[in-house]
A and B are shown apart, each in its own frame.
Chain A
C-alpha cells in the first residue's frame, strides 16, 4: 500500500529532470539551428544568378572572342556611347590615357587605370550595353573585351580571349592601387 518516499522522490525527480532536458533541448535547438527560415538553394538556381568573375578567372564561362569580332560588335552596340575607337565618348572613355595618372588632368580608362582584365568581362556582361544589359552572348563579351584590350595596346591583334587567356592578361595599372591609409590629414 505505502510506497516508500525515495520511490516518489525518484518519480518526481525523474519527471523534473525530463522536463528540464526537454526544455534544454528546445533551447539548444533554437540557438544552434536558428530560426528555420529560408529555403535551400540548388546548384542550378545558384548557377543562374552567379555571374561575377574573379581576378583568378573563376566564373568565366566557356566561349571565346577575337579582336576582329569585337571590332564589329563594338561598332554596332557600343560605339554610339563610347565612340568609334573607344576614345570619343560621349560616355566613359575606354581607350588611351596611359601615363596620365600623375598629371593635372588624369585620363582614367581601361588601359590606363583598370587593374584586372577579368573586371571587363564581369562588367560588360552584367551591365552593358547600357540600354540592353546582359544581352550579349559569352562569345560577344569575350570579343568586345579582346577589342578593348587590343585598342589599349595590351594584347596583340591576333589574340584570342577565353577563360584561360583572359585571367593571364596583365593590366598596365595592376600595381597602381593601395589600401586605405586614413586618417591621413592633420587639421
Chain B
C-alpha cells in the first residue's frame, strides 16, 4: 500500500482535537472530527494528527483595540503574515499534508497552504551550491547553476498540481470528512521558470532520446521516468511560485512541472535529468504509482489527471442554514480547459449549469459558483465537470465498474455531500 513509512507516526501521534471549529463569514461553520479520517484516507497516505501539536491561535490572543480608529496601527514589516484571526491550515502528517480547500477562495493556493507529498522529508538546499545535471543521450552533457537557469527566457503559467493519490480513500467508502480530507492533495500556483525544451535544445538531444529520468536531491533521490515528446511541449523547470522563490516543501530551489500530470512526476529539488531510450523502471513507477485492476494487471505510466470537481462550500464538516447559500467549488482537468460544471442539488436527478469564474485556464483550477436556496430538507449536493476533450467526470459507480476498488490512484469520481435536516454536511456515496 501507499508509503507505510508513516505508520509508526500514525501510531505514536497524538490524538486529534475533536472540536476544532473556526468561524466563517458566510454562516457556515466548520467542525471536523478528524479521528475517523485518520483511520481512512489519512492512514493510507500517512497523515497523522500533528494538527493538535501546532501552536493554536485564538481570537483573544492579540491585543485587540475596542476601536481601531482610535489607536495607531502596526508598523510596516519585512515579510508579511496573515491576520492572527485566520486559522486555515494544512492537515499535516509525516510525509504529506492536505490543502484546506474549504477555507480558500478563487483559484490560487497560498504557498503556505500548498499540499505536500515527499518521500523522505524536505531537504535543506543552498541555492548557490545547487546544480542541475543533464546527461545521457545529449550531444553536450552540462551542469546548470540556479543563476544560469534564471538567465534563460522565463515563462509563467498558472497550473494545478494534483497527487495521483488524491481522494484515494474514497474508492471503497466515504472516508474523508471534509473537502480537505477528500480532495486536499491538489493546489494551484503561478509557476515561473524556463521551458525544458529551451534548455534541452542548448545541449542538443540525440535523435534516439525518447525518455527522460528526473531525479530529486532529497533523501529519497525521488525518481520518475517521463516520455520526452509530451514533456517537451509544456514542461517547465520552475524556480518560483506565486511570485517568490519556491517554498522548500515545493522543491526549492528547482522543480519540474508537467502541467496536468500526476504530481509525483513533477520532481522536486530537481538535480538530474538523464535522457534515454526507454523508461528506467524506478520503484516509483513500478511498485508504486501504478494502478492495480480487478484482473490483476496494473496500469503503468498513467500520467494525466482526468477532469474532476468538488463542491468546497458547503462541504463535509460544515453547517448551513435555510435560505440563500452560494454553492462554490473547484473544477480542473489535466487534459485542458474545463468547459462546463453542472451542479445537482437533488442527488443527481437534475443538473444545472454553474457559473465559471474567468479566466478559465488550461490545466488549472477553475472556480465555479451556483446560487441556491436551501429549503431545510435533506438532500445531496454534487458537481460534475467536463473538459475541452469532451470528457465528463464519471460517477463513482461507473469508475468502480471499470477499475474495481484497489487501484488507489487517479480517483476522480463525482463527490456527494449530504445535507441533513439540521444543516450538517457529510460525505456520502450514492
Contact = CB atoms under 8 A, between A and B. Distances in A.
Contact of B221 (A41, A127, A187): A127
B392 A176 contact: no
Nearest to A183: B391
A62 interface: no
A54 B290 contact: no
B283 interface: yes
26 contacts: A34-B198, A35-B152, A40-B140, A41-B135, A45-B133, A49-B133, A54-B281, A90-B4, A90-B7, A92-B5, A101-B296, A106-B296, A113-B286, A118-B281, A122-B280, A122-B283, A127-B221, A176-B296, A177-B286, A177-B297, A181-B299, A182-B304, A182-B306, A184-B403, A185-B401, A187-B384
Interface residues of A, number: 53
Given A40-B141, A41-B142, 17 more contacts: A41-B133, A41-B135, A46-B141, A52-B213, A54-B278, A54-B281, A106-B296, A108-B287, A122-B223, A126-B223, A133-B120, A133-B221, A182-B302, A183-B306, A186-B398, A187-B392, A187-B393
B157 interface: no
Contacts of A39: 142-143
Interface string A114-143: 111011001100110010011000000000
Interface of A: 34-35, 37-41, 45-46, 49-55, 81, 89-93, 101-102, 104, 106, 108, 110, 113-116, 118-119, 122-123, 126-127, 130, 133-134, 176-187
B271 A49 contact: yes
B8 A90 contact: yes
A119 to B, nearest CB: 5
A34 B330 CA distance: 41
Contact of B202 (A34, A126, A186): A34
A187 B309 CA distance: 14
A184 B276 CA distance: 30
B1 A185 contact: no
B133 A46 contact: yes
A101 B292 contact: yes
Given A35-B202, A40-B140, A106 B292 contact: yes
Contacts of A114: 286-287
B202 A89 contact: no
- In the A-B complex, the 8 residue pairs with the closest CB atoms: A102-B296, A123-B283, A38-B142, A101-B296, A126-B221, A187-B392, A41-B141, A37-B148
Which interface residue of B148, B151, B296, B391 has the most chain A CB atoms within 10 A? B296
Contacts of A115: 281, 286
Contacts of A51: 221
A180 B398 contact: no
Question: Is chain B's interface secondary structure helix, strand, loop, or mixed overall?
Answer: mixed
A179 B300 contact: yes
Nearest to A109: B287
A177 B290 contact: yes
Contact of B220 (A89, A133, A180): A133
Contacts of A127: 119-120, 219-221, 283
Nearest to A186: B398
A7 B417 CA distance: 88
Contact of A184 (B135, B143, B278, B402): B402
B40 to A, nearest CB: 16
B314 interface: no
A54 B141 CA distance: 19
A186 B300 contact: no
B394 A119 contact: no
B406 to A, nearest CB: 6
A126 to B, nearest CB: 4
A181 B402 CA distance: 11
Contacts of A50: 135, 272, 274
A89 B8 CA distance: 10
B395 interface: yes
B374 interface: no
A122 B280 CA distance: 10
Contacts of B5: 81, 91-92, 130
A25 to B, nearest CB: 19
Contacts of B399: 185
Contact of A106 (B276, B287, B394, B406): B406
Which interface residue of B140, B202, B298, B384 has the most chain A CB atoms within 10 A? B298
B278 A185 contact: no
A166 to B, nearest CB: 13
A35 B87 CA distance: 46
Interface in B320-367: none
A106 to B, nearest CB: 6
B295 interface: yes
B201 interface: yes
Nearest to A59: B280
A37 B150 CA distance: 10
B144 A38 contact: yes
A20 B287 CA distance: 59
Contacts of A106: 292, 296, 406
Contacts of B162: none
Given A114-B287, A126-B223, A187-B394, A52 B280 contact: yes
Nearest to B390: A183
B221 A134 contact: yes
B370 interface: no
A39 B132 CA distance: 10
Given A45-B143, A180-B299, A185-B394, A119 B287 contact: yes
Nearest to B284: A123
B294 A180 contact: no
Nearest to B290: A177
Contacts of A35: 151-152, 202
